[in-house]
Amino acid sequence: MKERIDPNLYNDLEKFGIDVGNWNECYHCGNCTATCPLTEKGSLFPRKEIRFLQLGLKNELATSAEPWLCYYCGDCSKKCPRDANPGELMMSLRRYLTSIYDWTGLAKRIYTSKIFEIATILVISLIVMVLYLNFTFFPSGEGAWTGNDGGVLINKIAPWKRIHFGDWLMAGTLAFFLITNIFNMWLNIIVKDKSVKVPFIAYFTEVFSVVINFFTQKRFNKCDNDNKPYWVIHLFLMLSYVMLFTMIVFFLQWFQTDSVHPVWHPQRLLGYISTIGLFVGIIYFINNRIKKAKENSKYSHYTDWTFLVMLFLTTLTGILLHFFRINGMAQATYITYLIHLMCLVPMLTIEVPFSKWSHLAYRPFAIYFANVKKSALKKQVKL
């Protein structure tokens, strides 16, 4: 089948962080593919993706799941004799593919315009502020807003049912965008790839790989031993985020209480473990990007920093909110809760369906789709 060549693909991808002057130096020696422990028969990345770029094969890139199979250990970039930086190329391709799957066009705007991303954050923050000021109650004094245990009656200030309604509205909206984008991902990787016909049963035989790879990221364990700390901390950060998100969206009545529980109470323990996971991960990745000591942290797109800064502010304000609440500081609790939501909501709204956090869903689904295609190809060969 003839493939249409896009002569503007170079310029389009440069906006997503690809350094054209580097990766175009590739002369296909194959060192990157031979070095990568995650490549296998039928998945010869990143060499194949570089070839698609050089030939302007936009459709071939859109149907490829391979950029998501890469966990960016950086070994390929270290071994490249031409400094083509294939590891960072694969990272940039993940940003590009995120914009391909997103039918709204917002992911492309966020990844290609710093001003647009910052403006979007500010607009969402202002909307949150207006809603918060209209649906919560500012404490005029400290005593009337504290309970018998000395803690702030936070549900009197910001009733959990109102906050919970906002949580569900936000979660439903984000889920809609993310699910429809994953559907577009399926269309690109499976349906538009005419080289393989996937039987319906294949989707069931590989379905558990989505859950396994989401919660363990076990493929990363195949990478170089130098990247083991990176894998463990990345996994801890992700699981901490998922835990907090689950408690806030599904168990807010239990999580946002007027009572000050003992430190060993599950509500506080889970909160503390999640907070530690977030802070350890944030500090680790910020430190890596500042020092640029590791190959996968030498090059930073502005969205990498936006994500880390927003996550740091969300975590920090969450810690302060907890401190003020358990110590009966009602007015400080009210103000900090507002700032916390003004950081949290835009971070989730932007990152979950359109930017960095979306990768947590795209990668396990890409592995799933790749396994489905592999299973279908094996059956075709047998026939």
Write the pLDDT tens digit of every residue in 117-126.
999 999 999 9
| DSSP conformational letter for 220 | G
| 131 and 87 in a common domain | no
Q: Does the pLDDT at position 21 exceed 60?
A: no
Domain end among 101, 131, 154: 101
**Average of per-residue pLDDT values in the chain:** 89
Over range 68-84, report the average pLDDT.
Answer: 88
| 258 and 186 in a common domain | yes
Rounded-to-integer distance, Cα 94 and Cα 358, Å: 10
Confidence of residue 381 (pLDDT cuts 50, 70, 90): low
- Reported as half-sphere exposure (CB side, CA atoms, 13 A), residue 39 has a value of 20
How many structural domains does the chain have? 2
Q: Are 370 and 196 in contact (CB under 8 A)?
A: no
SS3 195: coil
Q: What is the pLDDT of residue 140?
A: 85
Asked, for residue 118, whether it belongs to a domain, the answer is: yes
Q: Name all contacts of 284-292 with Cβ < 8 Å and 24+ positions apart.
A: 284/233, 285/233, 285/237, 286/312
Q: What is the pLDDT of residue 54?
A: 83
- Domain span at residue 338 reads 114-379
Least confident of 29-33, 174-178, 218-222: 218-222
Confidence of residue 202 (pLDDT cuts 50, 70, 90): confident
Give the bridge partners for 152, in sequence order.
Answer: 146
Q: Are 46 and 86 in contact (CB under 8 A)?
A: yes
Find all residues with CB under 8 Å of 208, minimum gap 6, and list them: none
CA angle 337, 340, 344 (to 5 degrees): 135
| 85 and 118 in a common domain | no
Q: What is the pLDDT of residue 383?
A: 54
Asked, for residue 13, whether it belongs to a domain, the answer is: yes
Rounded-to-integer distance, Cα 316 and Cα 294, Å: 26
Percentage of the chain beyond pLDDT 70 is 96
Domain end among 47, 77, 101: 101
Task: Please report, to the nearest 10 degrees, the dihedral formed by the alpha carbons of residues 341, 342, 344, 349 taken in order.
Answer: 120
- Cis bond upstream, residue 229 (ω within 30): no
Rounded-to-integer distance, Cα 184 and Cα 101, Å: 5
SS3 17: coil
Asked, for residue 70, whether it belongs to a domain, the answer is: yes
| 156 and 252 in a common domain | yes
Rounded-to-integer distance, Cα 167 and Cα 189, Å: 32
